Amino acid sequence: METAFERADSITPCPIGADGLCCKNCSMGPCRLVGKTDRGVCGATIATVAARNFARAVTVGAASHSDHGRDMAYTLLEAAEGHAPDYGVRDPYKLMEVADFLDVPTKDEEGERRPINDIARDVALAALGEFGKVRGEFYYRKRAPAKRQEIWESLGITPRNIDREIVDLLHRTHIGNDQDAEHILDQTLRCALGDGWGGSMLGTDISDILFGTPAPVRSQANLGVLSEDKVNIIIHGHEPTLSEMIVAAAMDPEMIEYAKSKGAKGIQMSGICCTANETVMRQGVPLAGNFLQQELAILT
């Protein structure tokens, strides 16, 4: 079986790509800015092309991590409205904290605590609103220290909403749009802040609401956690919505009996990559390794 390490040995990294000097953002290219060529067909400079390439890498990362946050908000909404009975609010204190950040009232007009699922539903809807807020700036900027928010304001890079900054940055990197490398990088910062303090932060906070806020636990790590005489199940990916349910199913006595009926001594859960981090810090599920070790786990 071939592994990532063997493929890395057989591939020579492209030096033009490594410096971000190849642009294929329109069909007049691809333009390779090497040797005496310092501008693309459209006139884009080396700095502009390198900035565009970096910006596109940031938009992809921001989109994938923020969309994870959006999925967590939809899971909370489904749970609060009673459509996902296996999920629910496990950390009500965290729910109240997040409600405060999102300007969601936690008490009714008489000063009584609102029903927990009503608050959870409004938190989920407010979180989803952060992705496409029509006016102003996103609420979750309040998650950052006041001084940090002032710096963003002074630089004009406070995110308006999560999706808008991703789309705006992609728009700028297309041919005939923003040609100024520094200007492209300013928007790259704004996009990254929308993800880091918005989409990704919401993903983390809502995971805590749904699955519990992590506390120190003892566990084990590396490929030695795989068991010779149990059924090994490795959870892998970057969304905890499914992995938390697999952990619950693997602890079901009926499932353990089924594994035993086939000659195994039980079920050994472990994790790889991001979702492994989610389950090790909340459930103590052992960590088999990182992304690069996935093929090694199958080989083992």
Closer residue to ligand SF4 in complex, CB, 17/115: 17
Burial degree of 107 (CB within 10 A; 0-12, 13-18, 19+) = exposed
Read off the amino acid at residue 211: F
Backbone angles phi, psi at 234, to 5 degrees: -105, 125
Site string for ligand SF4, 166-205 (x = CB under 6 A): ---------x------------------------------
- Contact between 245 and ligand SF4 (CB under 6 A)? no
Pick the binder of ligand SF4 from 20, 21, 31, 267 (CB under 6 A).
31
Total residues at interface with ligand SF4 (CB under 6 A): 14
**What DSSP line would sit under 7-43, residue for residue?**
HHHH-PPPHHHHTT-EE-SSTT--EE--TT--B-TT-
Residue 175 CB, nearest distance to ligand SF4 (Å)? 4
Q: Which stretch binds ligand SF4 (CB under 6 A): 17-25, 55-63, 264-272, 277-285?
A: 17-25
Q: For residue 179, which of 62, 55, 84 has the smallest C-alpha distance?
A: 55
Pick the binder of ligand SF4 from 3, 19, 26, 61 (CB under 6 A).
26
Pick the binder of ligand SF4 from 20, 21, 25, 94 (CB under 6 A).
25
| Beta bridge pairs of residue 171 | none
Pick the binder of ligand SF4 from 44, 58, 162, 192 (CB under 6 A).
44
- Contact between 161 and ligand SF4 (CB under 6 A)? no
Pick the binder of ligand SF4 from 23, 95, 102, 210 (CB under 6 A).
23
Residue carrying structure tokens 């057989």 = 10
Helix (H) or strand (E) holding 288: strand 287-289
Distance CA 43, CA 269 (A): 55
- Contact between 24 and ligand SF4 (CB under 6 A)? yes
DSSP H helices, the chain, are 4-10, 15-18, 46-80, 92-101, 116-129, 146-155, 162-172, 181-194, 200-211, 240-250, 253-261, 274-283, 294-299
Q: Which stretch binds ligand SF4 (CB under 6 A): 40-48, 63-71, 236-244, 290-298?
A: 40-48
**Given the rule CB under 6 A, which residues bind ligand SF4?**
23-26, 28-31, 40-42, 44, 49, 175
